[in-house]
Chains A and B, each alone.
Chain A
Amino acid sequence: MSNSNLFMKTGFVRAPLQNGVGRYVCQLQRIVFKFCKSHGGSRGLRDFIEQDLVDFAKNNPSVVVYLKPRRHRSAVVVGEYLNGDRVWMSVNQKTHSEITKWIENLRTQQGNLSEIRLRKYQYTDHPSIQGPWTPFTFKNPELNLAELPNVKFGENNRLPISATEQLRLMFEKQKLSDVKTAE
């Protein structure tokens, strides 16, 4: 995390209210277009309103669209989401095609995602599938039939070979080769 993220809300990748398990609910509930009727900065937004807004409203009857003309103020789009998030986006000096893409982005996201710092890129309610570990979890099934004490299960072979032991083995090997050469 860098210092610029100090004020960001944190969260996980989640779908709100099991969206899509039952039926899909568009999470954008209302969108407000604020623009000026005469200023050049609102040109792109005015174009969008003239050409695409009716289609947008027709295709998304679940989104309430408000237009708010404001004299000599910059162009702004505000989206409100079902989870209570509010996305304020300045679209001043943006072109028609840019605005179309941004609004598509607002329509398809599920909240104010750009202001959330994801703690992880995955999420699970059940971090363990197998349940808690017990000493019996990975027990060797051979042990069920073994007669104890047993050399096979009793031997201490967990530690790596010691230096002394290594030397001893090397010495043994050398002795063998000495015998061979003598022959």
Chain B
Amino acid sequence: MAFIRRCLPLLIKGVNRIPLAKQEKSIHRWVAPTLMEFKRREKKQGGKIANPRNTFLEWNLEAELFAFGKRLGEDFDSSLLLQAFTDRSYVIKEEMKQKEMEFAVNMKDNRELSDEGMKFMDEYVQLYLEAVLPKFPKEGIISVKKHLLSENVLANISLHLGTKDIILAAEYPVDNYTLANTFKALVGALYQSSGEDKTANFVRDFVITQLQGQDVNEFWQIEDPWTMLTDLISKTGASIEPRLIGEVGKGTLLACYRVGLYIDKNMLSAGFGESISVAKDMAAREALKKLFGTEENMHPINFNLQIIPKDTSRSQHQIGSS
């Protein structure tokens, strides 16, 4: 009995050492191998395969076109809408097919519509920007417009309106050029079917609104802000005076200078930088933003102008400072 009593603690210790309920961290060791296997299989079949949506059983082009117009809240002429969605590459492909089968059906592609749409957008966006950014110079307006009507921006708009699946093109998925071209053609088709006012509102709602949350100054690269500022100021007869109003950490890596620009002892703007010339440049940029009415705290751009803005003379827009 005494022997057992002496051995009992040892026995219990031994039992404790054998883990009954195994505890481990739940690290999913299968994740990396699974992902690698997926990638290997994808590579083997030659990249991701995207089946054209219009080859599916559940596809009705007529219904899609009807819904497309309703989605945007516009009344498109149905034949014009179909024409806007027909890309040049598709027409070429179809004509080749028809030659083989020896019959001919005339198809119209969207080149004309797209040209017309682009022409309208070009004019309208310019007028609209001039109306909502009255003090912004012409070169700036042109560069903002260039951004808005660039292929990437238009393709993004086009994609998010659901044109990707409806476009009749030789390839699938369609590239950015085709997407942008289709959007231009849509604007052209709307112009022909609903007129100027509706098209203007359409362009405003889908193209101009892309400026929301963006800084318009970023689209216009000013090479030499100081020269531009002095030119503008000298036109009014005043002279501008840069003053060093702060310097910290001179001669160190973290040096910071602050330059203020003054007109008749009134501060126009201030800028900072790692050297005096950079600080002066930054101050000049700030001053230009103030003159152009595009400061960081500017009132948001109005996206609700109803009418087509008239082309007003740009003389008063040159400088509206002081």
Assess the B209–A22 pair: CB atoms within 8 A.
yes
Report A145 CB to chain B, min CB distance, Å. Answer: 14
The residue of chain B having its C-beta at the shortest distance from the C-beta of A131 within the complex is B296
Task: Please state if A25 and B72 are interface contacts (CB–CB under 8 Å).
Answer: yes
- Complex: chain A residue closest to B163, CB-CB: A82
Query: Does B100 count as interface, using CB distance less than 8 angstroms?
Result: no
B28 engages A6 (CB within 8 Å): yes
B142 within 8 A of A: no
A6 touches B31 (CB 8 A): yes
Interface residues on B, range: 35 or more
Q: Classify chain A: how many residues form its interface, as a range.
A: 20 to 34
Q: Which residue of B lies closest to A31 (CB)?
A: B58
Chain B residue with the shortest CB-CB distance to A84? B164
> From A66, which residue of chain B is reached at the shortest CB distance?
B58
B3-37 vs A, CB cutoff 8 Å, 1 = contact: the mask equals: 00000000000000000000000111001000000
Q: Decide if A151 is an interface residue (CB 8 Å cutoff).
A: no
What residues of B have a CB within 8 angstroms of the CB of A83 in the complex?
160
- Decide yes or no: A62 and B209 within 8 Å by CB, A21-B303, A134-B272 being known contacts: no
Complex: A136 Cα to B248 Cα, angstroms:
9
Name the residue of chain A whose CB is nearest to the CB of B66: A61
Partner of B28, one of A3, A22, A26, A64: A3
B184 at the interface (CB under 8 A from A): no
Binding site for A on B (CB under 8 A): 26-28, 31, 57-58, 60, 63-64, 66-67, 70-73, 156-157, 159-162, 164, 204-206, 208-210, 212-214, 246, 248-249, 256, 258, 272, 296, 303
- Known contacts A17-B156, A135-B249, then 14 further A-B pairs from the complex at CB < 8 Å, ordered by chain A residue: A3-B26, A6-B31, A17-B157, A18-B212, A21-B205, A21-B303, A22-B205, A25-B161, A62-B71, A66-B58, A83-B160, A84-B164, A134-B272, A136-B272
Pull 9 A–B residue pairs with CB atoms less than 8 Å apart, ordered by A.
A18-B213, A22-B204, A22-B205, A29-B67, A32-B58, A61-B66, A61-B70, A135-B246, A136-B246
